[in-house]
Amino acid sequence: MCIRDRSWSAITKLYYEIGGTLKSDIRGGKIKMYTIKQNLVAQDNYSIKCPYLMTAEFIVVHNTANDATAENEVAYMIGNKNQVSFHYAVDDQEVVQGLPIDRNAWACGDGANGKGNRKGIQVEICYSKSGGTRFDQAEKNAAHFIATLLRERGWGIEKVKKHQDFRNKYCPHRTLDKGWNGFIQMIKSYLNDIPVTSSSGFKVGEKVRVKESATQYATGQALAWFVKGSIYEVTKVAGDKLLLSDIMSWVWVDDVEKVSANTVVATAYPFLVEIICDELNIRQKADFNSKIVGTVKRGEVYTIIQEENGLGKLKSGAGYISMNSKYIKKK
């Protein structure tokens, strides 16, 4: 099992034992509880690390080919300017997310339009250079984490791919050396312990109110102030996350409450914002990698009619501006 550290604070040291060796875990041993936390790349680096919006279709497994921890692996990835990136790194203690899963990663080596790069959730397993017990535990954690991703999305085991499937590269090298089928069987064994249906209790079409206590979207970004207390319709359920109408953003089920079906969905739009930085780019589309089509300046006030991917749509139709509170404030 796993626990999400939504505050990105110090790792909580908890352990989980699944009653001895799992029946179908052919490599044996026990899986400890691991922590999931986020250290997401800055939006300013989206153009390098994850320039395209993505609707994932499968999961791609990699080995890091070094002995860095997951925390260090992600910190290095998000801190440099290389066009190399991945969504998750997994070691023997934790899973660390470096990219939002609704954006692509450069991990499969199949080019800007390659299916591996543009449609896969990229998972790196740490400690593969030296191997040993640390790698074995990291691999078990990765298998369980991947099983969780599959269940959340309603996917089958056929959605698990290896880097080698997209480019002629022997990766994940140590997992392949140990036997790819054995890794797949380990994922299957963990799938058997994860309920097929979500226990969230929410359904598509239901109406929910975002709690005032909510602080972050499920992707890790700070929750927009105007979302708190507003009512939205659930458009998709994925495990303990909900995709909400209008804002089209994922939130945690713990951060919403159900409201009556007769409740009118209250839109948070339109609203006014004042520019509080010297100059702010206007993007053509709701994407920080989109073409810059103009600028707005300090002290100017604009009407926002929609928000998507951290950008607000200008009522004038000129384009989108960042909704980061460093650059704008509500009037």
User: Positive or negative, the Cα torsion across 240, 118, 233, 41?
Assistant: positive
pLDDT in tens, 6-32: 332 222 222 232 222 233 333 444 455
Q: Do 178 and 135 form a contact (C-beta atoms < 8 A)? A: no
Q: For residue 283, is pLDDT > 70?
A: yes
**Higher-scoring residue by pLDDT: 267, 141:** 141
- CA gyration radius for the chain? 21
Q: What is the pLDDT of residue 34?
A: 87
**Which amino acid is residue 68, in one-letter code?**
A
Q: Which residues contact 101 (CB under 8 A, 6 or more apart)?
A: 54, 56, 87, 121, 219
Q: Do 313 and 286 form a contact (C-beta atoms < 8 A)? A: yes
- Rounded to 5°, the CA angle 316-322-328 comes to 90
User: What pTM was estimated for this model as a whole?
Assistant: 0.59
Q: For residue 261, is pLDDT > 70?
A: no
Q: Do 125 and 61 form a contact (C-beta atoms < 8 A)? A: yes
Q: Which residues of 164-200 are buried (b: 16+ CB within 10 A; e: fewer)?
A: bbbeeeebbbbbbebeeeebbbbbbbbbebeeeebeb
| Residue whose token pair is 């804002």 | 247
Question: Residues 247-261: what's their mean pLDDT?
Answer: 82
Tell me the residue ranges of DSSP E strands in 111-230. Answer: 120-125, 160-162, 207-210
220 forms beta bridges with: none
Which of 82, 120, 78, 83 is CA-nearest to residue 101? 120
Q: What is the pLDDT of residue 268?
A: 56
Total number of residues shown for the chain:
331
Q: What is the pLDDT of residue 200?
A: 60
Q: What is the pLDDT of residue 262?
A: 58
Integer angstrom CA distances of residue 76 from 48, 69, 291: 14, 11, 28
CA 307 to chain centre: 19
Q: Is 151 helix (H, G, I), strand (E, B) or coil?
A: helix
pLDDT-derived band at 1, boundaries 50, 70, 90: very low
Estimate the share of the chain in helix, then strand, then coil, as percent rounded to the nearest 5: 20, 30, 50
Which of 81, 151, 162, 153 is CA-nearest to residue 122? 162
Question: Percentage of the chain with pLDDT > 90?
Answer: 49
Cα dihedral 103→104→106→110 (10° resolution): -170
Q: What is the pLDDT of residue 281?
A: 95
